[in-house]
Amino acid sequence: MVPIWHYLALSALLFLIGAFGVVLRRNLIVIMMSIELMLNAVNLTFITFSRVHGSAEGQVIAFLVIVLAAAEAALGLAILVALRRGVDSVNVDDFHLLRG
């Protein structure tokens, strides 16, 4: 049996990597991947506490987070396509060029 702190440490590490990716990168695709990494870290925490406490509530919330991540990916892809058509770049700093 793996101790709970191993799961929580892995989750914290994944979340920190995702947070650094959001803050330090300017590419929209990398930012979206970093947000997905952060959501998966939160899912790992929900599943860990669900397993420790013996309830299914954490697993249900993790499933809802997965659904939210899929919607975020679809919306982010639509924004990426609109940005790519308007400006020939996926750099976040070029969003000001889409203002009309």
DSSP 17-67: HHHHHHHH--BHHHHHHHHHHHHHHHHHHHHHHHHHHT-SHHHHHHHHHHH
Q: Rounded to whole angstroms, how far apart are CA atoms 69 and 13?
A: 19
Radius of gyration over every alpha carbon of the chain, rounded to an integer in angstroms: 17
Q: Rounded to whole angstroms, how far apart are CA atoms 31 and 51?
A: 30
Global pTM exceeds 0.95: no
What is the pLDDT at residue 71?
92
Q: Which residue has the tokens 């997965």?
A: 66
Supply the DSSP symbol for 91. Answer: B
Please report, in tens digits, the pLDDT of each residue of the chain (100 residues total): 889 999 999 999 999 999 999 999 888 889 989 999 999 999 999 999 999 999 899 889 999 999 999 998 898 888 788 777 777 777 777 777 666 6
What is the pLDDT at residue 76?
84
Domains of the chain, CATH where assigned: 4-98 (1.10.287.3510)
